[in-house]
Amino acid sequence: MTGQVFLRFLSGRMLLLLSASLIIFLAMNLLPGDPAAIMLGLDADPASVLALHHQLGLDRPLAARYLHWIGDYVHGNFGRSSIYDVPVSSLITERLQASLPLVLSALALALGTGIPAGLMAAANRGRMMDTALMGLLQFLKSVPDFWLAMMMTFVFSITLHWLPSSGFPGWQEGIAPAVRALALPAVALAIPQAAITARFMRSSLIDILAQDFVRTARAQGYSRRAVLWRIALPNALIPVLTLAGIQFPVLITGSIIVESVFNFPGCGKLLLEAVNQRDIPVVQNLVMMIVTGVIVLNVLVTAAVRWLDPRLEGERP
């Protein structure tokens, strides 16, 4: 990627981040109802409501509130939670210790099972194994996260008593209890994405196997196995890397449902609670952090894909 193309790409992502911040701010501040009255309850004293209005800055003009919030965000000052009465930064950091391993574990499981399944289906294209795998993947792809989470809880926790059904003990209690608590939520989150990865891998590999350079390798005497593993597979993995960059934000949004089902104390559950209770500092800063992380990941994945595939050099991202 040339410097000019990269700068244009980066400026587009910065504009996207600015637009996202406006949408997040307006969504939280233009919703019906008074946030202060909702947080304090219907029977709250008017003086207390006015005091909370001042504390949250709701008595200032909308534009001034936005500029103040975005300025604090840039400097890492996320304010205090209106509900928990603790710094938002410490609250998010605490929940990230559960959510980040959950999302990364789910992504690793999705790629670790989806890529081999897609490879197996492509290598047996048109045969019984390909048909069976595609049918299974289509079913898993269509299964809702919440239903899968509830069924796994019923089977592995309530019936078999193999794994805990809810909660997260924390890493301070040891790696084994933490991994056991992560197992069911991570698998429930990963299965639909593993099915998507497998189907994408199969299509990518079939496209690569139809290319001229693969036929040339076969004509030069390479075995079918060598062509598949040494030539086709590395090229087919490049689009899968792009897919992994797309799946990461999908897993983050999916974790909101999964964490609620498993009562998992992560950022997804925190976000849902904060939205229900109109905890504006938590919602605004947490969603903005997620958007920032997704955009940064998108930049890194785009740069990695262009480095791995020189044919994309100079093209517009």
CA 193 vs CA 144, 243, 249: distances in Å: 11, 10, 12
The pLDDT of residue 56 is above 80: no
Q: Are 314 and 2 in contact (CB under 8 A)?
A: yes
Q: 1-27 pLDDT, tens per residue?
A: 556 767 787 888 889 899 999 999 988
Q: 264-280 pLDDT, tens per residue?
A: 888 988 998 888 888 88
Q: What is the mean pLDDT of residues 79-103?
A: 88
* Entry pTM: 0.82
Instruction: Report pLDDT for 30.
Output: 77
Alpha-carbon span 17 to 139, nearest angstrom: 36
The string over 241-268, giving b where at least 16 C-beta atoms fall within 10 Å of a residue's C-beta and e elsewhere, is ebbbbebbbbbbebbbbbbbbbebbbbb
- 166: Cβ–Cβ under 8 A, 6 or more apart, which residues? 153, 262, 263, 264
Alpha-carbon span 8 to 118, nearest angstrom: 35
Task: Give the homologous superfamily in CATH for domain 89-276.
Answer: MetI-like (1.10.3720.10)
Q: What is the mean pLDDT of residues 125-140?
A: 85
Read off the tokens for 130.
């390909």
The pLDDT of residue 42 is above 80: no
